[in-house]
Amino acid sequence: MNPILSVKNIQKSFDGTGVLKGVSLDIHEGEVVVVIGPSGCGKSTLLRCINGLERINGGEIWLRDQRISDQEKNMHLVRQKIGMVFQSYDLFPHMKVMDNLLLGPTKALKRPADEVKAEAMEMLKRVGLAEKADALPRTLSGGQKQRVALVRAMLMHPELLLLDEITAALDPEMVSEVLNVVIDLAEQGMTMAIVTHEMRFAEAVADRVLFMEQGVIVEEGAPAEFFREPRTERARQFLQSFTYASTRKNAR
Amino acid sequence: MQGLGISVLFKGINFQRLLLGLWVTLRIALITIGISLVLGLIFGLLMMSRSKIARAVCRVWLEIVRFMPQLVLLYIVYFGFARLFGVNLDGETSAVIVFSFWGTAEMGDLFRGALTSIPKHQRESAAALGLTKAQINRYILLPQTARRLLPQAINLSTRIIKTTALVKMINVTEVLKVGQQIIGQFYREPSAAFWVYATVFLLYFLICWPISLLAGRLEKYWGVS
């Protein structure tokens, strides 16, 4: 089967500094790919290039049979098929939750408002936020905002969903309420590319893990193998940095 | 007769004269605010334009307006232009020109500030929903800019209203000038000055206070800091 997304040897540099140095990646329908790696390794840039928020300097990106890396004028049409949720809570602060949800489907896709509204209400219920439909974003907690942002992206019925460190700015106790929604989406068969620092979550949700460092994919594999015994030394070191090397000797 | 200066206000048509003066004040201020709003938006866009020249011109313009006393600008236009170019501008027109020159730059800077204070993620997450540039401007950037701009624009407007008091120096008979004329006519009434100026103060206050309250309300209501 042909992949939904095909990234072919893309390069990206900022002011002459290479951030992506030839990255290739295929994502198939219903597949969840998790990208991990140290900060500055290019994983967020990879997602931003897929969505056309950054222009690539070389290589190609294909969405099914359409080359999307050279779309200038019609990028908004491409983005209607690729959802993205960011690290910062990026709800539109001047709109109620429901209006945040309706904007894309009614303005970009021109769907009738009442039809979208019913669907939006259904999805809000599913993430436990039905009573927040008429609330302003600033009255929501970080975790609630991020759940709304996920619903907002899903209401576009994207073929592919990109999640860029969506829990990185959250207080620890709110992380799981957001990630549970993502796991739910994965079980419903949503195709996703996820950048995260939550290793347990990565292990739980991924079909495939990519480890990136310095702009290249260093290792990729099934989560069970990758997390138990990574093949490369760099991946091993990276995973080790999440555990503490020693404990206090004089601890009481 | 000491202390009865207040009666001066009600002699003849004195109070109506003050109100007429106030109308001149408001007329200059309103026209200025209208022009400043429209040209200020253009000015703000030019400040953010790619053209270095446009940005430099705006920068110099803004600095001039900030450092030069309004009164000097008024004299330059009212007296200077007549000598230099042989154009005779009446006081009110000169005032509107000078205050608009000032208001445009300040309003433009406020507009630029409001627009650039919107986090870039707002634009990006709107783009990620597949909205066109025009839709992003209309539904995301414009409403948020307006909310940030409006309270500040209102504050600028009250400053413009206050500053119109200067136009009496170029022979425009606005509320303060009328007040001085009344005081002059009733020079035998020593406390007249106090009561007339107090009335002028009150009139300014009655105009500017509600406007300022409105700005505060809007700021609170929209919850932008």
pLDDT of residue A100: 97
Q: Please report which confidence band the pLDDT of residue A144 belongs to, taking 50, 70 and 90 as the band edges.
A: very high
In eight-state DSSP terms, residue B79 is: I
Contact B122 A90 (CB under 8 A): yes
Kindly list the residues from chain B whose CB atom is less than 8 angstroms away from the CB atom of residue A107. 131, 135, 139
> Residue B216 has what pLDDT?
84
Nearest to B135 among A53, A78, A107 (CB): A107
pLDDT at position A29 = 95
- pLDDT value of residue A173: 87
Cβ-Cβ contacts under 8 Å for A39 (sequence gap 6 or more): none
What digits encode the pLDDT tens for the residues A81-120?
Answer: 999 999 987 899 999 999 999 999 999 999 999 999 999 9
Please report the pLDDT score of residue B225 as a whole number.
39
Q: Which amino acid is at A71?
A: Q
The reported pLDDT for the residue numbered B2 is 52
Is residue A19 over pLDDT 90?
A: yes
Look at residue B3 in the predicted model and tell me its pLDDT: 55
Q: Searching chain B, which residue's CA lies closest to the CA of residue A138? A: B223
Q: What does the pLDDT read at residue A172?
A: 87
Q: Kindly report the number of other CB atoms within 10 A of residue B1's CB atom.
A: 9
Residue A130 C-alpha from the chain's centroid: 24
Nearest by CB: A107 against B119, B124, B131:
B131
Q: A84–B125: do the CB atoms touch at under 8 Å?
A: yes
Task: Pick out chain B residues at pLDDT < 70.
Answer: 1-3, 223-225
Which residues of chain B neighbour A137 with C-beta distances below 8 Å?
A: none
Nearest-angstrom CA–CA distance, B116 and B19: 41
A-to-B residue pairs, Cβ atoms closer than 8 angstroms: 70
Has residue A6 got a pLDDT over 90? yes
Q: What is the mean pLDDT of chain A?
A: 92
Distances (CA, A) of A132 to A96, A100, A187: 9, 12, 25
B10 half-sphere exposure, CB direction, 13 A CA radius? 4
Chain B residues whose beta carbon lies within 8 Å of the beta carbon of residue A51:
128
Q: Report chain A residues whose CB lies below 8 A from the CB of B127.
A: 53, 75-76, 79
The helix or strand, by DSSP H or E, that contains position B198, with its residue range, turns out to be helix B192-222
pLDDT at A165 over 90: yes
Instruction: Answer whether A92 sits within 8 Å of B119, measured CB to CB.
Output: no
User: What percentage of chain A has pLDDT greater than the value 90?
Assistant: 83
Q: What's residue B1's pLDDT?
A: 46
Name the one residue in this structure whose structure tokens are 């897929």. A50
- Top residue of A80, A86, A90, A110 to mutate, by most chain B CBs within 10 Å, is A90
B139 to chain A: which residues are within 8 Å by CB?
92, 103, 107
Global ipTM: 0.88
Residue A66 has pLDDT above 60, yes or no: yes
- Cα separation, A149 vs A86, in Å, equals 9
